[in-house]
Amino acid sequence: MMDVSIIIVSWNTRDLLQKCLQSIYKHTRGISFEIFVIDNGSHDGAVEMIRLEFPGLTCIANVVNRGFAGANNQGIKRAGGRYVLLLNPDTELTNDALSLMTKWMDEKRECGIAGCHLLNTDLSHQNSVRRFPRLLDQTIILLKLHHLFPKLLSSYLAHDFDYRKESKVDQVMGAFFMIRRSVIENLGELDERNFWNWFEEVDFCLRARDRGYEIWYAPLANVIHHYGQSFKQVMPFAKQEMWNRSLRNYFKKHNSIIAYCVITLASWLAVLISLIMMFNRSLFSKTLFIIASINLLSFFAFSSPIVNWLGFILILASAALIAWRHLLWGVYILLAELMISSQGHLFDVYVSGFRLSLRIGLFSVLLGVWALKIPNVKLLLKNYKFYIVFGLVIAWGIINAFLSHNNRSFLYQDFNGYLFFLLLPVFITAFKNKLQTTFLFTIWAAALVWQFIAVTLLLFFYSHIDIFWRMLVPVYGWFRDQRIIEVGLYKYNFYRVFMQSGIWALTGFFVFIAHFLENKQEKKDAVKIWLLCVAIITILLVNLSRSFWVGGVIGFIWFTYLYLTHFHALIKKTLHRAFILALCLITSVTLIAVILIIPIGKIPGLKAIASLPDRATETEESAVRSRKALLSPLKEAIQRHSLLGSGFGATVTYKTTDPRYLAAHPNNPYYTTFAFEWGWLDVWYKLGFLGMIAYLALIFDIVKRGWNMSIGLTAGIIALVVVHFFTPFLNHPLGIGYLLLSDAMFRSSQTKKS
C-alpha cells in the first residue's frame, strides 16, 4: 500500500503550486507517495503547467470552484495511501518533512490527525494550533473587538502553547493536515454540505475527537506556509460572508440553538460593519473601535471611581492635545460624543459637589484651546447679528429669572444647554477654509453604526429577557443611570430602545442621502450609503419615537421638494431611488422581525412588528396623556407673560399620569417642573414670544444660507425644528450642536465660493 496520498486543492495559485510540487519531489525520500491536484476552475494556466511539468501526478480539473471541502473529497475518494495529507498549494516542504511526519505517525499509533511546525515566508514561526471555537471568542471576532482587546482571544488562539514540544491539541491548521486512513474510514470525508471553505478541518478534528481519536502537533518537521494567497483574490466582504456562513453552520452542527442564534445575529452585524467600513477603512474602524472602547471603559467606570477619574482625565487630555494640534479634529471629537452618549454622562466626576460631565469637560477644553491658541481671530459682528440678538434674549431670560424670583437651581439647569452656543466661534474657526466632509461623514457613519449595534443587540436581549435577564442587570444600571439609553416595554415582549442621540440618526439620514445625490458615486459607494440607511431606519424604528417619526416625515417632504427643485432628476431615476429607499425600509423591518422571532425563550413574534403602526396613533399611553395634561396649564402660564416670558427656571404644576411618579407619590398626582416636553412652548414660556421669534429667525437665517448648498443639512434642520415641537432638542447640546455644525459648514462653503 502507498504510504501517503497528498491532496492539493488549487485556485489561481499557479506559481505557488509549482513551487509546492517541486518541494515535494525534492524533499521527500524513503517513503512512497502519490499526488492528486484538484484545480477549482483556475484561469491562470495551472492545469497546463501540471500536465507539462508534472505528468506523473493525477490532476482533476473542475470546471467550477467546488470549494475546499468538496475538492478535497474528490481526492480523498481516490486516495490509496496509509495516510492522507491535505496540503495547501501555498506551502513548501523542507528537508524530509513528509518522511519525518510519516515515521512519527507510524510510531504514534494513538494519533489520528497531525500537524507540523509551520513557518512564515521569512522562516519565522507561524502559529498553527487553536482550541475549539466557543461562543464568546467567535462573537468577539465577528464584532472585531479583538482589535481593541486582543487578550480576550488568548485562550482560543492558544497563546500559551509551547510550539517546541509535541503535544495533543484541539485542532491544527489545515495547511498541513495529515490524517490516518482509519480515521477517514470511520468518520467519512470532509463535510462539504456545511463547509464550502473554512471550518471544515475544525469540524473534522471535533468529529475525530468525539470518536476517540487524538489530534497532535509535532514540531520535528518544518513546512513553509505563504499564508492566504488564494484568498487575496477575494473581496474582503466576500471573504467575510464565506467565513460567517461556515461559522454559523459549525455552531448549528455542534452547539445549542441559543449559541447558533447569537452567532447568526452577530454575523449579520459583522457583514453590515464589513460593508460600511469601506467608507474609509482606517478612520472608520479606528473611530468605531474607539467608541466601543470608551463605552466599555464607561461601563467599568460606573462601578469604579478610580477608573472613572482615569477615564475622564485620559479622554479630556487626549481631546486637548488633539484640539491644540488640529482644532477641527477637536470639534470632531465633540460631535462624536454628541452622537453616542445622549445626555453626555459617559463619565461624570464630582468637584466640590458639582457634577462635571464629560460633555462639559469637552466643551471647556475646546473653548479654552480656542481662546488660548486663536485669540486674534476676528468675526465680523454684522455676519452674526441673529446670534447676537438671540444671545441678548438668553441674557434677558436669566435676568428675568432673578426678577421673577425663580428657583436658582432650576435656573442653571434650565439655561445651561444654551451655553453650547458659546462654541460658535470654535466651529466657525475650525471649519473655516477646511471643509473636509469625508472625515466628518466617516466619523458620523461610525457613530451611527455604533448606535445600530447597541440598539439591535439590546432589542434582541430584551425581547428574550427571560433568558438574558441576569446579564442585563448590570448593563441596564449603567446605561440608565448614565442616561445613555432608555429601555421600556412597548407590547408583546417588544421593548422600545430609545437613544436621545438618535436625533443624529434622523438628521444623518438626510445628510447621507444628500451626499450620495450631490456627488457622483461609484456603485460600491452607493451600496454603502443604502446599507447605512438600513441601519439608520432600524435605529429610528426601534426608538419608537413618534416625535422622530413626525420630524422625519416633514423633513423628508422638505427634502423631496429641494431634491426636485435642485436636481431636476428624471422621473425614472427618481422612482428608482424611491424604490431603493422603500427596500431599505423593508430590510429594516425584516431585520427587526428576525430578531423578534429568534426561537429563544419567550418569543415576541411577528405580532410585535404588526403593532408598529399602532404606535403612531396611540393616544392613551402615559407619555401622551402627560403631554396633554401639561398643555393646558402651560398655555395659561404663557398667557401671563406672553411677550417677554417668565425667565429660566419658571415652573408649571399639572396633574400627571406618569405611573412612576404616581407610584412614588400615591397621594399627590400633582407634579411641578421647569422642563417641558413641548419644546417651542417651553421657549415661549421662558423667553417670551419675542424670544421665540428671535430663535426662529436665527434658524431661518441658517437654513437660508444653506438653501443652495446642502439639501441634506437643511432638511435635517427642518426635521429638528419639527421634533422640537414634541420633544425638546433645540435647548439642548444635541440639537444646538447640529445647528452649529450646519452653519459652520454653510459659511465655509460660502468662503470657498467667494
Q: What are the tens digits of pLDDT across the range 132-164?
A: 999 888 888 887 767 656 788 899 999 999 999
* Residue 77 pLDDT greater than 90, yes or no: yes
Per-residue pLDDT reduced to its tens digit, 610-644: 666 766 666 556 667 777 888 889 999 999 999 99
* Residue 604 pLDDT greater than 70, yes or no: no
- Concatenating the DSSP letter of every residue in 253-297 gives HHS-HHHHHHHHHHHHHHHHHHHHGGGSHHHHHHHHHHHHHHHHH
* Residue 295 pLDDT greater than 70, yes or no: yes
167 — pLDDT class (breaks 50, 70, 90) = very high
Spell out the domains of the chain, with CATH numbers in brackets.
4-141+154-238 (3.90.550.10), 377-753 (no CATH)
Residue 717 class from Cβ within 10 Å (0-12 exposed, 13-18 middle, 19+ buried)? Answer: buried
Q: What percent of the chain is modeled with pLDDT above 90?
A: 55
Task: Identify the weakest region by mean pLDDT among 71-80, 142-151, 417-426, 488-497.
Answer: 142-151
What mean pLDDT comes out for the span 296-319?
Answer: 88
Residue 409: predicted pLDDT:
85
Per-residue pLDDT reduced to its tens digit, 495-514: 889 999 999 999 999 999 88
Between 627 and 246, where is the model more confident? Answer: 246
Residue 235: predicted pLDDT:
46
Q: Which helix (H) or strand (E) holds 97?
A: helix 97-107
Residue 520: predicted pLDDT:
60
Its sign, for the CA torsion 577, 581, 583, 584, is positive
Structure-block grid coordinates of residue 585: 425600509
Q: What average pLDDT does the chain have?
A: 87
585 — pLDDT class (breaks 50, 70, 90) = very high
Between 715 and 630, where is the model more confident? Answer: 715
Residue 708: predicted pLDDT:
74
Residue 661: predicted pLDDT:
73
Bridge-based pairing state of the strands 4-10 and 83-87: parallel
Between helices 523-543 and 503-518, what is the axis angle to 10°? Answer: 160
What mean pLDDT comes out for the span 581-607?
Answer: 82
What mean pLDDT comes out for the span 92-115?
Answer: 95
**For residues 368 and 611, what is the distance between their CA atoms, to the nearest angstrom?**
50
What mean pLDDT comes out for the span 583-598?
Answer: 88
What mean pLDDT comes out for the span 315-339?
Answer: 90
595 — pLDDT class (breaks 50, 70, 90) = confident
The 3-state DSSP class for residue 569 equals coil
Between 551 and 669, where is the model more confident? Answer: 551
Structure-block grid coordinates of residue 543: 426608538
